[in-house]
Each structure stands twice: as C-alpha cells, then as structure tokens.
Chain A
Amino acid sequence: MSQTLKGDTLPKWAPIASLAIAIGVAIALANTTAVAGTAGTSVLAVLIFIAIQTLWSFAVEGRRHAVDRVATTLIYATFVAAAAPLLSLLFEVFTRGIKVFNLAFLSHSMRNVSPLKPGGGVLHALIGTMQQVGVATLIAVPIGILTALYLVEHARGGRLSKAISFFVDVMTGIPSIVAGLFIYTAWILTLGFDRSGMAAALSLAILMLPVVVRTTEEMLKLVPNDLREASLALGIPKWKTTIRVVLPTAIGGIITGVMLAVARVAGETAPLLLTTFLSQSINNNPFAGPQAAVPTFVWDQLSSSTPASLDRAWAGALTLILLVMFFYGAAKLIARYYAPKA
C-alpha cells in the first residue's frame, strides 16, 4: 500500500471502459442467447456495467466506494428512465402528428367528414377550447387574485385564512373528473342548464382557481414591504396601495401564473366529457349547443380508431402540444418582460 493520504482510486477512464465492455458483452449475449429487443439488451448492459465496475472498485477502492459507484449508476439510470418517455412522447407526437397537420387541418371542422375518410380538421375544436378556456379564465382569475390578496394583504393568521389556505392546497389535488361531476350536479341537474361550452368552462374554472391563488400568493409575498409602507406613510389608503402599488409590482408573476393555469386546463379532457356534448361542427356560442374542444377531439378520433381518424388524433395531439407550448412560451416571455430590472 502506498503511503499517500488518499486511498487507491480507479483511473478516470474506469466507468467508460466498464461501460464499453458491458455493451460489448450485452450485444454478444443478445446475438447468441434468448435475450431479445433493444430494451432487454440495454437493461442487460447496465447490469453487466454495474457488476464490472462494482467488482473492480471493490477490489481497488474498498466496499464504501463500490457502494457509492452503484448508487451513482442507479441515480443516473433513474434520470434516463424519466427523460426517455418524455422524449419518446414528443418525438412520436411530432412525427406522427405532422402527417395530416397542415393549414387545411387547422382551418376545417369535422362537419360531414366520415370517420373512415381522411380530411377534416380541428378548427371547431380550437374555437371551442379558446372560448371555454377564455370564459374559465374570466371567472377564475378575479376570484383567484382577490383570494390571494386576502391571504397576503389582509389575513392576520386567523382561522379563516388558515382554512382557506389549506383548502386551496387540497383543491389543487381534486381529480379533474370530480370537477366535471360537480358542475354536472350543480349547474346542469340542479339549476337546469343544458350541457354546453359554458358548463365546461365552469368546471375548468374550478381547476384553474387553486393554481391562480397559489402563484399569485407567491408573487405578492415577493413584493417588498418597503413599498407598501412608503405608500401608506404618504397617507394613501390601503386599498389604493394594493391596487396601485402592490399589484403592478407583482403583475408579471401573476400573469405568468395565469398562463400556466391556462396551459394546464387547456389539455383537460375528463370534465369536458361530462359537461358538453361532442360536436363535429363549429359552434361559436359557448352558451348553447354542443361544442368541441381539442382534447375531446383527440378522444373522439381515437375512439373511432380508423387509420384516418388515428392520423387526425395524432395531429390533434400535436395541435394540443403546440397550444400548451404557446401558453408556456407566452408565460416565460411575460415573466421576462416584467422581471424587475436590476
């Protein structure tokens, strides 16, 4: 044993060498034995890699470092396991969706298009989604912002504010289908309205509300107290301070939060299935008649399950992903635009 302060360590190239050997052995085994498929071979390669490196490390570095290397490998592997499905999903949506995704797809509805035949488009669903999400935003945003204002500006840690804060958190976890059920029982069964885009919007508003409250609350907490105190010291009433000083300071973050909430509910399918009837035609009136939406369009085309409708389902999925990405992108841009200049 050498007399240095550090124990013996594996050379820097040890992991790469072990990996190369492992991949070689795995491919050799895949060609000669019953192991089959890319997935099986990769899992085998990882296992052989762990075995080689651990034994090697155990011999040179000792038990503790061998365990450390196993843990490192497994932690790297979990990240790959988490990222792989996302990349596969995005890849498939783009490559399969692009087939029938074009200007005609975006500018036509499914009116008089047979599920068996190609053609038709997503326009009616896009209009529906825009209107439903728009109405939901108009309902959820004022209530959400005012609630957050109460929690941050007015509440003094009393029981009411604790209860509201707790139930906002719990509300975040309500399954979306339950929101749909609630609107169906309250709005349609009890108040007697028809299933319509408006009913869908109400259920989306319930899902948006807690997200808006939470993000607004976080943003309001970031507003420096100096600003509030300076304004109050000038004799300006508290309500005016809130509207003219606190809200404008936090507005960038609040809009970002709203956009994220919009992106979340734009992809909701379950509550729409309960609260609207699917439509194949354009309906510009969210208050009457069946109205389509992009997520239910995908659901509908997937249920038809003909080659043409599956193509449309993937194109619809691409439309939906682009829509969600658009909202996310807008949120990022707004956040950057309003970010406090240092």
Chain B
Amino acid sequence: MSQQAPIRESSISGSSVRRGDQIFRGITVGSGVIILLVMGAIAAFLLWKALPSFSNNSANFLTEKVWFPDQNPPKFGIAALAFGTVVAALFAMLIAVPVGIGTSLFISFYAPRRLAGAMAFLIDLLAAVPSIIFGLWGLQVLMPHMGGIAKWLSDYLGVIPIFKNDQELYTKSLFIAGVVLAIMVLPTISAISREVFKQVPRSHLEASLALGATRWEMIRMAVLPFGRAGVISAAMLGLGRALGETIAVAVILSALFDVNIHITEPGGNTFAANIALKWNEAGPNGLSALIASGLVLFIITLSVNAVARSIIARRKEFTE
C-alpha cells in the first residue's frame, strides 16, 4: 500500500485509504479469523462435552482397556484404542514409507519421461478413492488373500512375537487394517516426496553422474540427503492420515477391547473406528466418552501435523 502523499489537498488520487478497500479488507480478514475460530472451537467444544465423562469415570481413562461408559458406575479407558491406533498406523508406515519413497524415486528418476506423468497420475488417483471403498475392497478382496501371508509370517517368523498367531484365525486383524492403511497413505507420502525430489538442483545430479556415480549412488548421495527433511514431513503427514482414518478400519477390524501384540490375530480397535461403531448405541455418558476419545485423537493428529508442517516451513526458509 502506498504512503499518503505529503500535499494532501492537491493530491490527484484523493484519499489514499478508500472506504471500499477498508470494507473489503475487513471481510477477508474476517474469513481468515473464522478459520482460527473454527480450530479453537473444535478443541473447546470437544473438551467441554468430554468433561462429564472424565468426572464420573470409575477407571483410569488412560490405562483402562474396557469400554463400558453407560453402565453404573461407568468404566472405560483408551488403552486398547491407543494401542490399536498406534500399532496399525506404525505398521502402515513400515510399508508405506519405503514403498512411497521408492515410487516417487521411480517416477522422478527411473520412469521414461513420457510415461512419468501418467504414472504419477495413477498413484495420485489412489488418493481420490473414498475410504469406504478401501474398506469394502479390503474386507471382500484383500482379506481372503492375506490369510496365507499372515499364516506364512506366523509359521516362519513366529519367533518375532507380533507375527505369532496362536488362534489359527487370520482375518479381521490389525495386520490387514495396517496393510489397507498403508495403501491409503501411500499417495500422500509419494506426492510430497515427489515435490521434494523435484527441487533437488539439477547441477547436483549432473555433478554426481559426471563423477562416475551410478544412478543409485546419485540418489543416495545427492537426492536423499537433500530431500531428508521433506521426506520426513511427508511420512508424518501420512502418519497423521493413518491415525485418523475411520471407516476403512471400522469395516475391517473385529473390534475387541484388548491389547494383543499378536497383530495377525482378529481383534484390535482404533479411536476413530470405535467412535463410528459405538456412536449409535451410546447413551449420554457413552457419547461423552466417545467425544473424550475423539479429543485425544484430535490432539494426537494435531501435534503430528503441526510438527510435520513446521519441518516443511523451516526447510522453506533455508532453501528460498
């Protein structure tokens, strides 16, 4: 905005601050403030409506595994939910991060130039598939195929406790939910890593190739160190999505309130899936308890996202 001219009376533009501009600016500021208010209101309302259940809970909210908020006295806690949420999301990350980075490396450096665009579109298309369809597909198509793999893992890698399966049942498990989550967060990780790899200075790539590096050495020494911060934040954004995913998980898991480290066995439950499944059968205190668990989920995803965003923002300051 221009400063006021010193000779105001004879200025050709009249007043330099116009009424219309002020009003318009006010409207746009107001809209921006609405967003801040909504974010604040989400936290405030969830906290407010969760409080009643906190006060009448007869068990420890953080360590109790069962979920009976509507019995007298109410007894419920998030231990099983937190366990299922974190395990499913971390297992998904274990698959999605290497595959996502590999996919974006493939599209950025290996695929034929002409096909790269189409391949990137294909991966991005995954992000457009609604989660209920991932749930439907995971339950009806993927699950029958995963039994054999889960059994194989249990038979041959059963020494690792998480793969051990004592029940001889391989369906509706955190393992399958984790695989579906991995597919769902893959496009997030892949798209952001691709953006980061695109920013690697061409001169770095060409210098390493000119020094006789193989393509893999170029990636290991020029691309990955440059993109590390971006890839980490991409993984965290993916993690945020995996933690909060509801419907696909709710469809696949057989919701049990149990902390079971054998992830190929049926069972497991997550914050989001539990809310969706229990919502319509919950009484007043049950709703309040579900809102409390939603508040925990909100805080977790908010912090994961905030950290990821601040990593990106700091990196931007360095590179620009």
Q: Which residues 276-315 of B sit at the A interface, judged by CB distance below 8 A?
A: 276, 279-280, 290-291, 294, 297-298, 301-302, 304-306, 308-309, 313
Could you say which of A116-124, A249-257, A314-322 contacts chain B?
A: A314-322
**Pair B29/A150 contact, Cβ less than 8 Å:** yes
Contacts of A206 in B (CB 8 A): 38
Tell yes or no: B105 within 8 A of A by CB. Answer: yes
Given the known interface contacts A173-B301, A274-B279, A313-B136, the answer about A160 and B29 at a Cβ–Cβ threshold of 8 Å is: yes
Tell yes or no: A288 within 8 A of B by CB. Answer: no
Contact pick for B246, options A173, A175, A317, A320, CB 8 Å: A175
A170 closest partner in B (C-beta)? B305
Contacts of B48 in A (CB 8 A): 185
**Pair B133/A89 contact, Cβ less than 8 Å:** yes
A93 closest partner in B (C-beta)? B133
Contacts of A173 in B (CB 8 A): 237, 240-241, 244, 301-302, 304-305, 308
**Pair B130/A150 contact, Cβ less than 8 Å:** no
Given the known interface contacts A40-B148, A150-B31, the answer about A75 and B102 at a Cβ–Cβ threshold of 8 Å is: yes
Contacts of B152 in A (CB 8 A): 40
| B238 CB, min distance to chain A CBs, angstroms | 10
Given the known interface contacts A175-B245, A185-B49, the answer about A76 and B28 at a Cβ–Cβ threshold of 8 Å is: no
| A242 CB, min distance to chain B CBs, angstroms | 7
Q: List 13 A-B contacts (CB under 8 A).
A: A75-B106, A79-B103, A79-B119, A86-B126, A86-B129, A170-B306, A173-B237, A173-B304, A185-B49, A302-B136, A313-B136, A317-B133, A320-B130
A74-86 Cβ-contact flags toward B at 8 Å (1 or 0): 1111110111011
Tell yes or no: A33 within 8 A of B by CB. Answer: no
**Pair B39/A171 contact, Cβ less than 8 Å:** yes
B231-249 Cβ-contact flags toward A at 8 Å (1 or 0): 0000001001101111100
B244 closest partner in A (C-beta)? A175
Tell yes or no: A16 within 8 A of B by CB. Answer: no
Tell yes or no: B123 within 8 A of A by CB. Answer: yes
Which B residues contact A (CB, under 8 angstroms)? 1, 13, 18, 20-21, 23-25, 27-36, 38-39, 41-42, 45-46, 48-49, 98-103, 105-107, 110-111, 119, 122-123, 125-126, 128-137, 139-142, 145, 148-149, 152, 183, 186, 190, 214-217, 219, 237, 240-241, 243-247, 251, 272, 275-276, 279-280, 290-291, 294, 297-298, 301-302, 304-306, 308-309, 313
Contacts of B35 in A (CB 8 A): 143, 147, 164, 167-168, 171, 209-210, 213
B105 closest partner in A (C-beta)? A75
Tell yes or no: A2 within 8 A of B by CB. Answer: no
**Pair B246/A177 contact, Cβ less than 8 Å:** yes
Contact pick for B128, options A171, A172, A324, CB 8 Å: A324
Tell me how many residues of A have a C-beta within 8 Å of chain B: 93
**Pair B133/A189 contact, Cβ less than 8 Å:** no
Describe A's contact surface by its main secondary structure: helix
Contacts of B306 in A (CB 8 A): 166, 170
**Pair A269/B272 contact, Cβ less than 8 Å:** no
Tell yes or no: A298 within 8 A of B by CB. Answer: yes
Given the known interface contacts A78-B102, A83-B123, the answer about A147 and B291 at a Cβ–Cβ threshold of 8 Å is: no
**Pair A182/B103 contact, Cβ less than 8 Å:** no
**Cα A313 to Cα B30 with chains together (Å):** 43
Given the known interface contacts A164-B35, A274-B275, A302-B139, the answer about A268 and B41 at a Cβ–Cβ threshold of 8 Å is: no
A88 closest partner in B (C-beta)? B141
**Pair A263/B128 contact, Cβ less than 8 Å:** yes
**Pair A269/B130 contact, Cβ less than 8 Å:** yes
Q: Which residues 136-193 of A sit at the B interface, judged by CB distance below 8 A?
A: 142-144, 146-147, 149-151, 153-154, 160-161, 163-164, 166-179, 181-182, 184-186, 189-190
**Pair A175/B272 contact, Cβ less than 8 Å:** yes
**Pair A273/B145 contact, Cβ less than 8 Å:** no
**Pair B246/A185 contact, Cβ less than 8 Å:** no
Given the known interface contacts A86-B126, A147-B31, A206-B38, the answer about A238 and B275 at a Cβ–Cβ threshold of 8 Å is: no
Tell yes or no: A287 within 8 A of B by CB. Answer: no
Contacts of B29 in A (CB 8 A): 150, 154, 160
Q: Which residues 255-313 of A sit at the B interface, judged by CB distance below 8 A?
A: 263-264, 266-270, 273-274, 295, 298-299, 302, 310, 313
| B132 CB, min distance to chain A CBs, angstroms | 5
Contacts of B279 in A (CB 8 A): 273-274
